[in-house]
Structure 1
Amino acid sequence: AAALSAPLLPTYISQYGLQRHRATTVSWQTSIPLQHRRFSLSTYQLKIRDDDHTPGHESLGREEDDYIDDSEIDELFQHQIPMVGEGDHRIFIVHPDVKWGSRKQYLTTANLMMAEAVGLVNTLHNWSVIDKIILSTKTPEKKMIFGKGNFQTLTERIKRTPGVTAVFVNVERLSPKEFEEAWGVKVFDRYSVVLHIFRCNARTKEAKLQVSLAEIPLLRSRLRNEVANLDQQGGGSRYIMGSGETLMEVQQRVLQERELKICSALQHLRRKRHLLRSQRKNRDFPIISVMGYTNCGKTTLIKALTGDAALQPRDQLFATLDVTVHAGTLPSHMTVLYVDTIGFLSQLPHRLIDSFSATLDDVTHSDLIVHVRDISHPETVNQKENVLNVLRNLQIPDRLLSSIVEVHNKIDLVDSYEPSEPNSLPISALRGQGLEELKIVVEEAIMRSTGKQVLTLPVDLSSSQLSWLYKEATVQEVDVNPDEGSAVVKVIISAAAYGRYRKMFLGS
């Protein structure tokens, strides 16, 4: 039997900043081999100050103590959950096909859902699909998903497929323990696979924090399974000497403290993002959120509309995890800001979406939403419904939901494209088709949503009126009368800006 020796557990405790526990000797016998006892928390050092643990002091109580610096975020992100996608994987995909009932998908087919699962796996570097199967089930809500006969058939199929290192069961969430015991390999669900894609694509501080927050439920689930295994060996409920807590309680508290610290850091970033939004609003730039199903062409469209060479679209799922803002101009010369957002996917738990709520906050403060659809995709109708359902769940204001501009992208991939829905705009962002028409529609929608108006104003060229209008409004035309030292200016201006103009220059 392997033993957790005396020096190891105090080191483990100190790694979590749990200085209140000063264990000096621990002997914890277990028959679990050391290489299998790899709880995900063990490599992350949460830097909590000593004074945070004095009696009566509540950890995470002050903003300056709550905030995680860059090095802590990187350390958390790099080591929090290394087991999910460690190394290469040759994946056997299992798609449970629900024949009837509330869980049946009516806007898609089992083959299309399997194709999406294959796409998820192929998105990951060094992951490949070695085999796949669609298996019918009448009991998708049951723990083992399949009936006894189908499960036995599936187990035999997996075991006789050479080279399988993991199984991907194409459902939102599952408890992998019994599956892994039956099949002898790692088992993933959609939550864990998508989360690993997020992890691979996270680049900014905010994305890393949001991924780390979304991983907490997986860590809790794994903790319960590992402690259950230890309980079977008689060790899971042992108290850690000097602490008054079992190992389970210590690890649960570590997770809770970590979750609170991540949430606090995200709240700090949320306030910072709110400040940036306020600055954009003060400059009176209309904000357009570009949304859609993952890999529908959002980034390609924004690059085409703005000419931003820094944007590098990638043909893969969830290439964009962060909100980025890009300036463009409309036919009236009005400057607008396009917001590139994370893509959506069907059958994702709300907890995963909730973890990215700080990023999606920007959408609720937009002046307009442009919904981009990959009209060449066989599941385009189902994808549309998924996006709209997510938007409703995000409590997007009705004014935005009712004014969405729907764009049918990738028409160059459709033979003899015919618009199937009224008011939709056919485009090819890659080839530049339909973009001028889109800009006109966007401009009209922005004028309605922001209350901007087109005015013709006489100005005195000896005053600062013209320079003020260039700064605070969109100047479309200037007709100068040099003899009189005046001009007639055509502008697009908001009601608030026009009110300031009247007060400053017209005394009214």
Structure 2
Amino acid sequence: MTATSERPAAATILVGVDLGLPHFDSELEELGQLAQTAGLDPVARITCKRRAPDAALFVGSGKADEIKALAEELGASEILFDQALSPAQQRNLEKHTGLPVNDRTLLILEIFAQRARSHEGKLQVELARLQYLSTRLVRRWSHLERQTGGAGVRGGPGEKQIELDRRMIDESIKRTRERLVKVKKQRATQRRQRERRDTFNISIVGYTNAGKSTLFNALVKARAYAANQLFATLDTTTRQLYLGEAGRSVSLSDTVGFIRDLPHGLIAAFQATLQESIDADLLLHVVDASNPHYPEQIEEVQNVLREIGAAEVPQLLVFNKTDAVAAERQPLQLVDSFEIEGRQVPRVFVSAQTGAGLPVLRQELARILAERHPLPEPAPAETSA
């Protein structure tokens, strides 16, 4: 599924099913962006409405025939669904169409596998992929074949291939979890060191492609990778940010972006990285102000924060990309508040790309720092009798 520089992008048909749930992406815009990020070439989009998924084919036999005919007509080599498919539905669709069929969950896992750079990030992606594969019991990734050594892997007489696959995957999951436990301990040690230094920790969160890394770079003059694509950043980067307005430094972390229907296995696997958000004193929740669907994106971020136990961490909303907002929608003031789940959250409008509003953001950070993490009162000077 992953395209390489030597191989042309795979022609892919995108399929979405409207089951009456809120926020259905009728244009499959986000799925198309994800596909392109993974190196695929979306050549057609098909959507349909159903009251419930078909148990065997998800879309029903008639729509499956239509997808197959379109794939043959356009020379497509892969079919990609915007919803998660069950293992049985995936197998049945592949038999019906004669083509590889994948879903949004696998697509996100593939992108994460391409983008992970740190040892921790690679381990986390590997664990999520193995957990996904364990429900499929098919050899979708060749890397498993390289892990077939060690005690207890060889099958006894008459052992079925599916049992070998299951045992091999279970052992790989166990080894990967053990490695992640060690990484988690290292992170905990680093956090304790920061706590001893009495550092105020700020974590940048937000929907993918909201401009988090661009804002991070603008604030700390770092060179973290930033691009106009989904999941440009996977590994947490932490730098010291000096706030001259407060005369103090804070710790600023850039984290992975969130997205609708982020695979649960991926959230669990990334607990060590997302721990930066859980342990933060303040979340900088970055929002793409130019995206018409930003209210839904804010809601998705809140959902993930609840899942990882960070819903109660104070937030400062940063409405980014104001340079891309139409003139009639430009904010009347750079600082106000925005309602999230019944409470008013302070909001700042900025453009990380042009630098507009960044001085105001720094002032707001200094204000919050002074309120929530005041410097200790100096001890009164002793007077001689």
TM-score between the two structures when normalised by the length of structure 1: 0.65
- 1:132 is paired with a residue whose SS is strand
Give the Cα separation in 1 of the matches to 2:221 and 2:379. Answer: 32
Give the Cα separation in 2 of the matches to 1:109 and 1:172. Answer: 14
Change (3 A) 1:211 1:334: same
Change (3 A) 1:188 1:303: same
Alignment partner of 2:53 out of 118, 126, 140: 140
Deviating above 6 A after TM superposition, structure 1's stretches of 4 or more consecutive aligned residues are: none
Alignment RMSD:
2.5
Which residue does the alignment assign to 1:206? 120
Which residue does the alignment assign to 1:388? 302
- 1:288 is paired with a residue whose SS is strand
- 1:443 is paired with a residue whose SS is helix
Change (3 A) 1:241 1:315: closer
Q: Name structure 2 gaps, 5 residues minimum.
A: 141-153, 339-345
Which residue does the alignment assign to 2:151? none
Q: CA deviation at 1:314?
A: 1.4
Give the Cα separation in 1 of the matches to 2:207 and 2:351. Answer: 16
1:156 aligns with 2:69: yes
Which digits, 9 at most, give the CA deviation of each residue in 1:359-386, with x for residues without a partner? 1111111111110000101211111000
- AA at the equivalent of 2:189: L
Which residue does the alignment assign to 1:94? 15
Q: CA deviation at 1:445?
A: 2.0
Which digits, 9 at most, give the CA deviation of each residue in 1:195-254, with x for residues without a partner? 11111111111111111101113322342699xxxxxxxxxxxxx875574333333222
1:372 aligns with 2:286: yes
Change (3 A) 1:97 1:449: same
Change (3 A) 1:147 1:223: closer
Change (3 A) 1:109 1:208: closer
Change (3 A) 1:124 1:244: closer
Q: CA deviation at 1:141?
A: 6.2
1:438 aligns with 2:349: no
Give the Cα separation in 2 of the matches to 1:389 and 1:441. Answer: 26
Give the Cα separation in 1 of the matches to 2:215 and 2:353. Answer: 7
How many residues are treated as equivalent by the alignment? 352
Alignment partner of 2:349 out of 426, 450, 453: 426
Q: CA deviation at 1:449?
A: 3.2
Q: CA deviation at 1:454?
A: 6.3
Alpha-carbon contact 2:224-2:237 (below 8 Å) kept: no
Give the Cα separation in 2 of the matches to 1:287 and 1:339. Answer: 8
Which digits, 9 at most, give the CA deviation of each residue in 1:150-201, with x for residues without a partner? 333333222322x201011111334321111111111110111111111111
- 1:429 is paired with a residue whose SS is coil
Alpha-carbon contact 1:287-1:367 (below 8 Å) kept: yes
Residues 5-20 of structure 1 aligned to structure 2 (within 5 Å) = none
Change (3 A) 1:195 1:128: same
Alpha-carbon contact 1:169-1:188 (below 8 Å) kept: yes
Alpha-carbon contact 1:108-1:382 (below 8 Å) kept: no
Which residue does the alignment assign to 1:298? 212
- AA at the equivalent of 2:15: V
- 1:332 is paired with a residue whose SS is coil
Change (3 A) 1:289 1:252: same
Q: Name structure 1 gaps, 5 residues minimum.
A: 1-82, 227-239, 460-504
- AA at the equivalent of 1:356: F
- 2:45 is paired with a residue whose SS is strand
TM-score between the two structures when normalised by the length of structure 2: 0.84
Give the Cα separation in 2 of the matches to 1:392 and 1:428. Answer: 28
Give the Cα separation in 2 of the matches to 1:311 and 1:458. Answer: 44
Residues 127-276 of structure 1 aligned to structure 2 (within 5 Å) = 127-140=40-53, 142-161=55-74, 163-175=75-87, 176-223=90-137, 242=156, 245-276=159-190
- 1:285 is paired with a residue whose SS is coil
Which residue does the alignment assign to 2:150? none
